[in-house]
């Protein structure tokens, strides 16, 4: 089993004829993801990826013609909010927005509209999700993964790759790896993903990768303390040496007072039963110390 994406996923790539969209759509298709359609306004009737994927002018048309149920968005920041709304209006219920640089205020009404529609947005500014051996949606390199039973959720793209590679090298596979994005306004939180993993019969342990800024990790720790007491769980928090008030990497990685500091997150996670690593490469050892035998 997997969460969010799997063998059943029928993917439409919005922005498939652009450089980034085309490159990553090809990688998704090569991995085994069922990429059934692309969307670029004005290029309907053409094909992409050497004729393997039909291109449509709208998501509505792509859904009607191909039965697409999941979208991955590679649309420039100025048009990305509208691209998300187009996907929702077309009936897509799982949407990954890879685009970075979208103003936070532009995302506020979009996130609310997503919730009102009963859909799920992952991102923006996220790397996507991979269920190893089944499908990958987004930009996470397929080569770092190994099939297994550890769920991974992260705010950071590159740290995700490093952590997953360390797990794979140690012989620890993943059930699904999800990057939720590092912007201040995102559609899906740590707690949301932990809840999905909690219901997945094929996820036996958890890895959470966070960073300074905001209180999403503390909220996730509170949820895990109540609902995930008996599952092995480990975490890593990036930005322990970041100076207060200075942006570090993601737009959401800003410390303000006591809230959002690395130490406050570490304290909350440890209180919830997470073993917190000093570096991503320590995660495999901590997983086994926590009782994971996979």
CATH of the domain at 202: 3.40.50.261
Residue with the two structure tokens 């006591």: 258
In this structure, is residue 135 part of a structural domain? no
Q: What is the mean pLDDT of residues 195-214?
A: 95
For the purposes of burial, counting CB atoms within 10 Å of the CB of 283, is it exposed (0-12), middle (13-18) or buried (19 or more)? buried
Check residue 191 and give its pLDDT.
97
Give the pLDDT of residue 4: 97
Alpha helices in 199-294 (DSSP H): 216-227, 262-271, 283-289
Last residue of a domain, one of 122, 154, 181: 122
Indicate whether 151 and 202 sit together in one domain. Answer: yes
Catalytic residue flag (residue 250) = yes
Q: Is pLDDT of 256 > 80? A: no
Assess whether 106 and 205 both reside in one domain: no
Domains held by the chain: number: 2
* Alpha-carbon gap, residue 35 to 27, rounded angstroms: 10
Domain that holds residue 109: 10-122
Are 109 and 157 part of one and the same domain? Answer: no
- 153 and 280 assigned to the same domain: yes
- If asked whether residues 189 and 256 sit together in one domain, one would say yes
Residue 136 contacts residue 157 (beta carbons within 8 Å) = no
What's the CATH number where 55 sits? 3.40.50.720
Mind listing the pLDDT tens digit for each residue in 114-169? 999 999 999 999 999 999 999 999 999 999 999 999 999 999 888 899 999 999 99
Same domain, 152 and 256: yes
Domain contains 76? yes
What would the pLDDT profile of 190-204 be if each residue is shown by its tens digit?
Answer: 999 999 999 999 999
Q: Is the pLDDT at 85 greater than 60, yes or no? A: yes
Residue 261 pLDDT: 86
Q: How confident is the model at residue 260 (pLDDT cuts 50, 70, 90)?
A: confident
Of 24, 60, 145, 250, the catalytic one is 250
Q: Is the domain of 160 the same as that of 75?
A: no
User: Whole-number mean pLDDT of the chain?
Assistant: 93
What was the pLDDT predicted at 226? 95
pLDDT at position 170 over 70: yes
Average pLDDT, integer, range 266-288: 96
- pLDDT higher than threshold 70 for residue 253: no
Is residue 217 in some structural domain? yes
Give pLDDT tens digits for 55-65. Answer: 999 999 999 99
Q: What is the pLDDT of residues 3-23, one digit of tens each?
A: 999 999 999 999 999 999 999
Let me know if residue 35 belongs to a domain: yes
In this predicted structure, the answer to whether residue 258 has a pLDDT above a threshold of 60 is no
Percent of the chain at pLDDT > 90 equals 87
Are 155 and 282 in the same domain? yes
pTM of the model: 0.93
Burial class (CB in 10 A: 0-12, 13-18, 19+), 257: exposed
Q: Does residue 171 sit in the same domain as residue 273? A: yes
Is residue 117 located within the same domain as residue 197? no
Task: Report whether pLDDT(186) > 90.
Answer: yes
86 and 56 assigned to the same domain: yes
Structure confidence at residue 49 (pLDDT): 97
């Amino acid at each position: 089993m997997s969460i969010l994406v799997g063998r059943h996923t029928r993917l439409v790539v919005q922005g498939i004829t652009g450089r980034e969209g085309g490159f990553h759509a090809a990688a998704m298709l090569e991995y085994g993801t069922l990429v059934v359609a692309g969307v670029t306004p004005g290029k309907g009737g053409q094909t992409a990826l050497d004729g393997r994927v039909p291109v449509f002018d709208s998501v509505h048309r792509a859904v009607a013609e191909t039965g697409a149920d999941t979208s991955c968005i590679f649309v420039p920041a100025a048009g990305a909010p509208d691209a998300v709304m187009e996907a929702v209006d077309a009936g897509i219920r799982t949407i990954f927005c890879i685009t970075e640089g979208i103003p936070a205020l532009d995302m506020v009404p979009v996130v609310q509209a997503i919730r009102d529609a009963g859909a799920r947005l992952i991102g923006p500014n996220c790397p996507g999700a991979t269920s190893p051996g089944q499908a990958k949606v987004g930009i996470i390199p397929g080569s770092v993964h190994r099939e297994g039973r550890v769920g991974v959720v992260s705010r950071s793209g590159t740290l995700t790759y490093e952590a997953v590679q360390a797990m794979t090298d140690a012989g620890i596979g993943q059930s699904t790896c999800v990057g939720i994005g590092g912007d201040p306004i995102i559609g899906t939180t740590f707690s949301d993903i932990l809840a999905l993993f909690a219901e997945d019969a094929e996820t036996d342990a958890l890895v959470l990768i966070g960073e300074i800024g905001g209180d999403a990790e503390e909220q996730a720790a509170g949820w895990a303390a109540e609902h995930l007491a008996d599952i092995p769980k480990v975490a890593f928090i990036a930005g322990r040496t970041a100076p207060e008030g200075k942006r570090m990497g993601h737009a959401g990685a800003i410390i303000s007072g006591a809230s959002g500091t690395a130490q406050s997150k570490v304290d909350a996670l440890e209180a919830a039963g997470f073993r917190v690593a000093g570096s991503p490469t320590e995660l495999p050892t901590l997983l086994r110390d926590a009782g994971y035998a996979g």
